[in-house]
Amino acid sequence: MTPAARCSAAIEILADIAGRRRPAADALKDWGLAHRFAGSGDRAAIASLVYDALRRRASAAWIMDDDSPRAVLIGSLRLQQGLAAPTIAGLFSGERFAPTPLTAAERERVEIGSLAEAPPAIAGDAPEWVLPSLQAALGEALLPELRALGRRAPLDIRINTLKRSRADALVPLGHLAAEPTPHAPHGLRIPIGADGRGPALHVEPEFLEGWYEIQDEGSQIASLLAGARPGETVVDLCAGGGGKTLALAAEMGNRGRLVATDGDPRRLAPIHERLRRAGAEAEVRTPRTGRARADVLDDLDGTVDRVVVDAPCTGTGTWRRNPDAKWRLRPGSLATRLTEQAAVLDRAGRLVRPGGRITYITCSILPEENDGAIADLLARSGGAFAVVPARSVAETCLPSVVGSVRLTEHGLQMSPALTGTDGFYVATLVRS
């Protein structure tokens, strides 16, 4: 497919996403199934165009004075890829499979459209209703942070120290041109191309042999801040596919007791193969569904040294990777997540022994889900828990990150603008 034909396809997919209010991944998959002539390179390039347009949906519509899928794509080519009007006009030529030519009005908007007078929600490409919360959390850093969340995310891997050290892995992985991550001691950052694509890491021999996992540096840092030690009993309460479980197993050196579970048994499906490949040892407890559902952790109540709560959240810190999610986010979704967060924190509180710790993690930058959730637990617990100062936790677990994170009332916040990571929040509580 020509670059112009890819633009036509991207417009078609953006129209499907807008018309049916569906996730971008689903729309892209359906388009690929209906257009099997498109090769993997074409599909990847089209996906990059779609995701870039979604990242800049509000600002692209502003400079084009039009929020149609075609206008949003044109605006994103200008804002996200920095293409000049003649280059965009060359893609929109009206020739075979190309979009129809730019109108005089479209060309003028491409040339003179500006964000100089745009309000923060437009300039930062964020839903209007989250701005008050983000303003309270970020202050003067609001717009730089939102703009950073609109850029493409890097591609990071975590070296599995159960099999290799980062130093030992660098030479065999030299063909990936990887560089050490700025903060995480076991991380490597893989260059991505101009189209946002990286290498197919999941088919590399080293991946199949368990040398590494694909994991954002922020998630790696959050796992390290849990402070898991060999010989402890640790529960990963919201384990999902197992990314943090694997990191915890490596930090514990497979010594101790590591238990992984999740409220949704379907999310646990990939964890077994990932544990096998990594050579990591963890006890996976899958809850039953239906009326016979029972608590699979009740035998551990009051005995656990550390509980890691990678809580369900709105995912506002991952907008770089999931730009369509921010446009589907609604206030009701936040309310649901707050209820779920309270439930998992209360369950963690029953698991942890006196003197034991809870590490609460979200991939959110909304204060309601972060400091707010911790404050609510403190109020509910009647003095049963106390916050461990985040600076102290970081200085103990990962001193190099202290100067790069935003310290909040109860925890610490990572973000694309500060740490170059997704927007992870981490707080630590100790049971009295």
User: Where is the binding site, in residues?
Assistant: 262, 310
Q: Buried b / exposed e across 97-135, counting CB within 10 Å, b at 16+?
A: ebbeebeeebbebbeebeeeeeeebbbbbbbeebbebbe
For the chain, the first-to-last Cα distance in angstroms comes to 63
Among candidate residues 322, 363, 319, 42, the one with its CA nearest the CA of residue 197? 42
Three-state DSSP state, 319: coil
Among the residues of 314-424, which ranges form H helices?
323-328, 331-351, 371-381, 390-397, 416-419
SS3 content of the chain, % helix, strand, coil (to 5): 50, 15, 35
In angstroms, the CA 324 to CA 336 distance is 19
- Annotated binding-site members for S-adenosyl-L-methionine: 262, 310
Q: Which two tokens stand for residue 115?
A: 């964000």
In angstroms, the CA 279 to CA 268 distance is 17
Give φ, ψ of 307 to 5 degrees: -115, 125
Structural element, H or E, at residue 223: helix 217-225
CB 388 within 8 A of CB 374: no
Inter-CA distances, 160 with 189, 247, 254, Å:
14, 8, 12
Length of the chain: 432
Q: Catalytic positions, please?
A: 363
Burial of 227 (0-12, 13-18, 19+ CB in 10 A): buried
